[in-house]
Amino acid sequence: MSKKAGHGSKGDIHTERTMADKSKQGIQEQLFHAETDREPGDNNWQGFGFDINPPVFLIAGGLIVVFVVLSLAFPDQAGALYQDTRVAVSDYFDWLFILAANIFIVFMIYLAISKYGVIRLGGVDGEKEFSDISWIAMLFSAGMGIGLMFFGVAEPVFHLFDPHLGAEAGTEGAGEVAMAVSLFHWGFHPWAIYALVALGLAFFSYNRGLPLTFRSIFYPVLGDRIYGWPGHIIDIFTIFATLFGLVTSLGLGALQINAGLTFVGDEVGAFPAVPDATGVAVLIIGLVTGLAVISVYLGLDKGIRRLSNLNLTLMIVLLFSVFVLGPTLFILGALPQGIGAYIGNFFELSFFGNSFDNHYFQGSEFYGPGGEGEGAFLVDWTVFYWAWWISWSPFVGMF
């Protein structure tokens, strides 16, 4: 009897596994196609390697030109307006950025461990188009390339001498906190933001046969109206959000390249000095933009993939050079210590706000947005980063 019972238990396990596999298959098939007769891009302009949605391209392009021209014509007024807007958004919506970033992490964890985690992007028979190395290279090049090169050094140094979490400036504790804060701003939260957008774009495009645009994410709400003006407005808004993320990345990169050329020319004397001026930065932005346009025109495989692989190779060379030529033992010790500090302070950093110092203690040592102290930390760093990642997520989500 015991043997029969044992065989019966194995049969039950096999039956449960079969039912689970069928359930996974059912989820895949049930969510494979959207119920629409429209084809992606059926009204687009196509030619010379481009596939353009006329209303979105013309309206977004025209508004961007107006935006750029006015900013160049009135730089002081534009700078003041952008600064005031940033401070106002941080003042009134800092709580929203904090909650949203944390909710994104929880939601992505839920998707990974729930029944929806078995869904294969691209369908049951979907296969990878690029190798893992190329995909990682494109992901990091698009998501954090210029910013990581700039803030990867600048942010820990800044927090070392202007520390957070009550640490004393210039001490070992400040160094530990500096690494924790830097890893926090470049760790799980930004990648959760990117992953959420990427998952939405990939699922509705590759699994449900909708256009690879932001409007497709709203198909369950709008239905076929995503092909009309509601969808056009969503895409136009997405383009503008991406524009501000692009401006931040290009601006930081241009300043960094300009400063590097100036230093090498002045201090090293490798070539004639390059002036550290706005005109040079604009020229650098133009050159980088031109290279980006060529890369996009060549396509993912011939352009962006190869450029990203080159970026990854140069990054590895730089990483190896710093590790070998720099303080190797210090790096080996600081890395796990910084990760430990990040994990230990994860929840405090994730939910840190300045409501009390901003609204109730204006006369104390704390100040609100745009001022000094902990309030300024939230505005100048965390909220700035979360807004940057969100605005840049439609572009990075494509990868």
DSSP letter string, 154-195? HHHHHHHHS-STTPPTTSHHHHHHHHHHHHHHHSHHHHHHHH
Q: What integer is the mean pLDDT of 326-354?
A: 91
Higher pLDDT, 140 or 183: 183
Instruction: Give the C-alpha separation, 200 to 219, whole Å.
Output: 11
Assign 370 a pLDDT band (cuts: 50, 70, 90). Answer: very low
Higher pLDDT, 323 or 365: 323
SS3 of the chain: the string is CHHHHHHHHHHHHHHHHHHHHHHHHHHHHHCCCCCCCCCCCCCCEEECCEEECHHHHHHHHHHHHHHHHHHHHCHHHHHHHHHHHHHHHHHHHHHHHHHHHHHHHHHHHHHHHCHHHHCCCCCCCCCCCCCHHHHHHHHHHHHHHHHHHHHHHHHHHHHHHCCCCCCCCCCHHHHHHHHHHHHHHHCHHHHHHHHHHHHHHHHHHHHCCCCCCHHHHHHHHHHHHHHCHHHHHHHHHHHHHHHHHHHHHHHHHHHHHHHHHHHHHHHHCCCCCCCCCHHHHHHHHHHHHHHHHHHHHHHHHHHHHHHHHHHHHHHHHHHHHHHHHCCHHHHHHHHHHHHHHHHHCHHHHHCCCCHHHHHCCCCCCCCCCCCCHHHHHHHHHHHHHHHHHHHHHHHHHCC
Higher pLDDT, 260 or 24: 260
CA distances from 110 to 106, 107, 300 (A): 6, 5, 31
State the pLDDT at residue 37.
57
Assign 13 a pLDDT band (cuts: 50, 70, 90). Answer: very low
Instruction: Give the C-alpha separation, 101 to 384, whole Å.
Output: 12
Please name every residue paired with 45 in a beta bridge, in sequence order, or none if there are none.
52
Higher pLDDT, 208 or 360: 208
pLDDT beyond 50 at 5: no
CA distances from 305 to 287, 308, 342 (A): 19, 5, 32
Number of domains forming the structure of the chain:
1
pLDDT beyond 50 at 295: yes
State the pLDDT at residue 164.
84
Number of neighbours of residue 45 by Cβ within 10 angstroms: 12
Number of neighbours of residue 379 by Cβ within 10 angstroms: 23
118 CB contacts (<8 Å, ≥6 apart)? 24, 27, 28
Q: What integer is the mean pLDDT of 158-164?
A: 89
State the pLDDT at residue 26.
54
Q: Which of 25-39, 280-294, 322-336 has the highest mean pLDDT?
A: 322-336
Q: What integer is the mean pLDDT of 20-40?
A: 55
Q: What integer is the mean pLDDT of 366-373?
A: 44
State the pLDDT at residue 167.
84
State the pLDDT at residue 378.
82
pLDDT beyond 90 at 96: yes
State the pLDDT at residue 105.
95
Q: What integer is the mean pLDDT of 295-311?
A: 77
pLDDT beyond 60 at 229: yes
Residue 338 maps to a domain: no
pLDDT beyond 50 at 187: yes
Structure tokens at 58: 């013309």
Residue 171 maps to a domain: yes
Specify whether the backbone of 347 is left (phi greater than 0), alpha (psi in -120 to 50) or beta. Answer: alpha
Assign 49 a pLDDT band (cuts: 50, 70, 90). Answer: low
Residue 245 maps to a domain: yes
Assign 185 a pLDDT band (cuts: 50, 70, 90). Answer: very high
pLDDT beyond 50 at 3: no
Question: Residue 354's domain spans which residues?
Answer: 44-249+347-397
Q: What integer is the mean pLDDT of 155-175?
A: 88
Structure tokens at 200: 């939405």
Judge residue 215's burial from the number of C-beta atoms within 10 Å of its C-beta, 0-12 exposed, 13-18 middle, 19 or more buried.
Answer: buried
Residue 282 maps to a domain: no
**106-148: per-residue pLDDT in tens?**
999 999 998 888 888 877 777 777 777 887 887 777 777 777 8
Q: Which of 146-150, 165-169, 353-357, 368-372 has the highest mean pLDDT?
A: 165-169
Residue 299 maps to a domain: no
Residue 20 maps to a domain: no
Predicted structure pTM score: 0.79
Residue 216 maps to a domain: yes
Assign 366 a pLDDT band (cuts: 50, 70, 90). Answer: very low
Higher pLDDT, 55 or 247: 55
Q: What is the chain's mean pLDDT, rounded?
A: 79
pLDDT beyond 50 at 368: no
Q: What percent of the chain has pLDDT over 90?
A: 23
Residue 33 maps to a domain: no
pLDDT beyond 60 at 19: no
